[in-house]
């Protein structure tokens, strides 16, 4: 899993050729036990959830 950024306990991942489930460009963000998938550049949540305070930082 290639981590492209780590900040305030959140880790941002981008996978190569990860287009089976989500057809748009996106990143995966993990915070503790939670994970969210966010489209780029729009920032729309495609799947999952992390605390609101972490989403504001993202």
The tokens for 43 are 């920032």
As a whole number of angstroms, the distance between CA 22 and CA 48 comes to 12
Q: Is the pLDDT of residue 14 over 90?
A: no
Mean pLDDT over 23-44 rounds to 90
Q: For position 30, what pLDDT does the model report?
A: 94
pTM for the predicted model, two decimal places: 0.80
Q: Is the pLDDT of residue 17 over 80?
A: no
Q: For position 44, what pLDDT does the model report?
A: 92
| Pair type for strands 34-39 and 26-31 | antiparallel
Query: In the chain, where are the structural domains located?
Result: 3-57
| Pair type for strands 10-13 and 3-7 | antiparallel
């Amino acid at each position: 899993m290639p981590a492209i950024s780590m900040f305030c306990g959140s880790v941002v991942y981008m996978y190569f050729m990860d287009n089976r489930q989500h057809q748009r460009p996106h990143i995966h963000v993990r915070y503790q036990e939670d994970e969210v998938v966010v489209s780029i550049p729009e920032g729309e949540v495609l799947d999952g959830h992390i605390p609101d305070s972490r989403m504001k930082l993202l």
